[in-house]
Amino acid sequence: MLNCPRCASADNVKSGTNKGRQRYKCKMCQYFYTVSHKSDTATPAQRRLALTLYLEGLGFRSIGRLLGFSHVAIYQWVKTFGETVEQLKRPAAQIVELDELHSYVGHKKTTAGSGLLLIDLGSASSMLSLAREAL
């Protein structure tokens, strides 16, 4: 148990809860006090570590085992962080029509240099990037 912050006595009893935290009453000085830090809350450093481990490829359960929290808590931290950070949005794929040349090149017997990958960089952008397909 906790010692009284006023008289440092270890003689105390539980006396309900206040804002979700356990409240104690000292038997010596009749002082009511609560725990300053809940035992099941994570520090910002622990949350950052969990996020770093997640970005390195560890799963929620393994991060939870390493840090001593449930996998659901780890999931909620990562989800909350993802909602607060502005996510990079990929432009939606658009349908691009190709002419007969693409189908002719695609049916050739030799595959060296055949086919082009067309990537539209956005509807506001008129730039069209061409990249050779890796075969």
Tens digit of pLDDT for each residue in 27-53? 999 999 987 665 567 888 999 999 999
Sign of the dihedral through C-alpha 22, 27, 32, 38:
negative
Q: And the tokens for 38?
A: 């809940």
DSSP 104: H
What residues does 21 pair with on adjacent strands? 18
Tens digit of pLDDT for each residue in 86-119? 555 555 666 666 555 555 555 656 555 545 555 5
Tens digit of pLDDT for each residue in 56-81? 999 999 999 999 999 999 999 998 88
Residue 129, number of CB atoms within 10 A of its CB: 10
pLDDT for residue 135? 39
Residue carrying structure tokens 């009284």: 4
The structure's pTM equals: 0.41
